A = this chain, B = another copy of it.
Amino acid sequence: MRVYAMRFALLSIGAWLSGALVEAWAQPATPIPAQMPPQAALPTQEDHPTAVLPEPSPRWIYVLEPVFPYLVASKMWILDGDDLSIKGMVNGGYLPNAVLSHDKSRFWIAETYWSRGSRGTRTDVVTAWDTKTLDPLGEVILPNGRFLVVPKKHNATLSHDGRYLFSFNMDPAFSLSVVDVNEMKYLGELDTQGCSLAFATGTNSVASICPDGRFVHLTFDASGKLTKTELSEPWFDSQNDPVFEHAAVHRPSKRAFFISYDGWVYPVTLDGMPKVGERWKLQGPGDEEWRPGGWQLAAFHAASNRLFVTMHKGGKWTHKQAGDEVWVFDVAAKKRVHRLPLDHHSPTIAVSQDEKPLLFALTETAILMSYDTTTWQKKAERSALGISPWLLYTFGE
């Protein structure tokens, strides 16, 4: 019938737009049987195409939602940072980690599936997504699995040249799975010697944090084979004042700031074997009641040398308490330059890397806020962003 033929022509264009690789993923288009109610395929006056996004803006915010307590149904939301309108979303698997490409063309999600939702055969994959079409472009199987944990940003990252994706694995042997994302190929595991997380330090090197407060630094060759394992001296007291996992890392400048439970800032250069600078403290005189805390509690804006940290009033072991304020520091002067009281207390923040950056704060109750850091005015607020959005990402960070 003519009606059906028209619809399929439109569909074919959609499939073409969304890229040939998608075909491998999708069910083959099924012809519409004649028994379909005839109204179902009435010709429409309007076209019904699929939107394609422009190149991501540095002011867009990517929000990873693991979806508690429906963890097999995770999502990543993409929003315009200025008005917090939805640009689109993608689905992920169990306890996912996201990694954004350097060139803005891709992001990857390291994720875990079971063949029957939460049971059956387990499969761990890194899935590549096109940032404009939001179509999956392919996947790489992680044969040794992934670290299954409430999502933390530094469970997965990208090498300085953007070629190797590192996915931390505790199965429970500790290693980093290496995926060549240019070739979409799994290269192997780097033994982290019992150390955790992934901080890229070069094109062919990556560091992890050890239980005793050291870095382990791993260098590997083009085949993914470990060629060198170095241990740093302990640089923080992992027994009495551990650093949060959510260091503020800025990949382009290779700078990172690790923050301890008690509020010490450890500046680290991630260029080869990590170099730890002199530590300094967030709290000054009169700030004794305040502590850093939350989840993704720190963000760094490289161009202005500003470090943002969520702070709350609380005693020891309140390290997961959401921040009532964001404190802003000039890391060159090691001095606080602003205190921003948040309308809703937030465990997680991020900052855009453009010239007049936006500060994003995310609550435990699915509210996302966007602040202009030049005026400290709130630009937008959005509630009900899913039920448990968790991590924030921006391009260029």
Residues of A whose CB lies within 8 Å of any CB of B are: 25-27, 30, 32-33, 35-37, 40, 67, 70-73, 91-93, 113, 115-123, 125, 127, 136, 139, 171-174, 194, 387
| Contact between chains at B91 and A25 (CB < 8 Å) | no
Bound form: Cα–Cα A125–B119 in Å:
13
Contact of A92 among B26, B73, B117 (CB under 8 A): B117
A285 to chain B, nearest CB (A): 39
Nearest-neighbor residue (CB-CB) of A33 within chain B: B173
Instruction: Provide the main secondary structure of the chain A interface.
Output: loop
Q: A92-B117, A116-B93, A122-B27 are in contact. Are A194 and B73 (CB under 8 A)?
A: no
Q: Which residues of B lie under 8 Å from residue A40 when comparing CB positions? A: 172
In whole angstroms, what is the CA distance A139 to B116 when docked?
10
Residue in contact with A91 in the complex, picked from B37, B113, B118, B136, CB distance below 8 Å: B118
Q: Report B-chain residues with C-beta under 8 Å of the C-beta of A70.
A: 67, 70, 73
Chain B residues with CB under 8 A of A71: 73
Question: Nearest chain-B residue to A36 (Cβ)?
Answer: B172
Q: Is the CB of A116 within 8 A of B119?
A: no
Q: Which residue of B lies closest to A94 (CB)?
A: B117
Given contacts A25-B120, A35-B173, 20 further A-B contacts (CB under 8 A): A25-B116, A30-B171, A33-B172, A33-B173, A35-B172, A40-B172, A67-B70, A70-B70, A70-B73, A71-B73, A72-B72, A73-B73, A73-B117, A91-B117, A113-B115, A116-B125, A116-B127, A116-B139, A119-B136, A387-B387
- Residue in contact with A72 in the complex, picked from B27, B32, B73, B172, CB distance below 8 Å: B73
Check A117 against B136 for contact (C-beta < 8 Å): no
The residue in A32, A40, A171 that gathers the most chain B C-beta atoms within 10 A of its C-beta is: A171
Q: Are B115 and A115 in contact (CB under 8 A)?
A: yes
Complex: chain B residue closest to A122, CB-CB: B27
Which of B26, B35, B174 is A174 in contact with, Cβ under 8 Å?
A: B35
A93 to B115, CA, bound (A): 10
Subset of 16 A-B contacts with CB under 8 Å: A25-B116, A25-B119, A25-B120, A26-B119, A27-B122, A35-B173, A67-B70, A71-B73, A72-B72, A72-B73, A91-B118, A93-B116, A113-B116, A116-B139, A119-B136, A387-B387
Q: A113 contacts which chain B residues (CB < 8 A)?
A: 115-117
Q: How far is the CA of A35 from the CA of B73 in the complex (A)?
A: 31
A191 to chain B, nearest CB (A): 9
| A91 → chain B closest CB, angstroms | 5
Q: Nearest Cβ distance between residue A179 and chain B, in whole angstroms?
A: 17
> A36 to chain B: which residues have CB within 8 Å?
172
A91, B73: Cβ atoms closer than 8 Å? no
Q: Which 3 A-B pairs have the closest CB atoms?
A: A70-B73, A73-B73, A70-B70
Docked complex Cα distance between A32 and B136 (Å) = 35
Find the B residue at minimum CB distance from A34. B173
Task: Please name the residue on chain B nearest to A24 by beta carbon.
Answer: B120
CA distance A386 to B249 in the complex (A): 37
Nearest-neighbor residue (CB-CB) of A119 within chain B: B25
Cβ–Cβ < 8 Å partners of A121 in chain B: 27
Contacts of A115 in B (CB 8 A): 113, 115, 123
The answer to whether B117 touches A72, judged by C-beta atoms less than 8 angstroms apart, is yes
Determine the residue in chain B with the shortest Cβ distance to A116. Answer: B113
Give the distance to chain B from A352, nearest Cβ to Cβ, in Å.
Answer: 28
A113 to B32, CA, bound (A): 22
CB distance from A39 to the nearest CB of B (A): 12
Nearest-neighbor residue (CB-CB) of A25 within chain B: B119
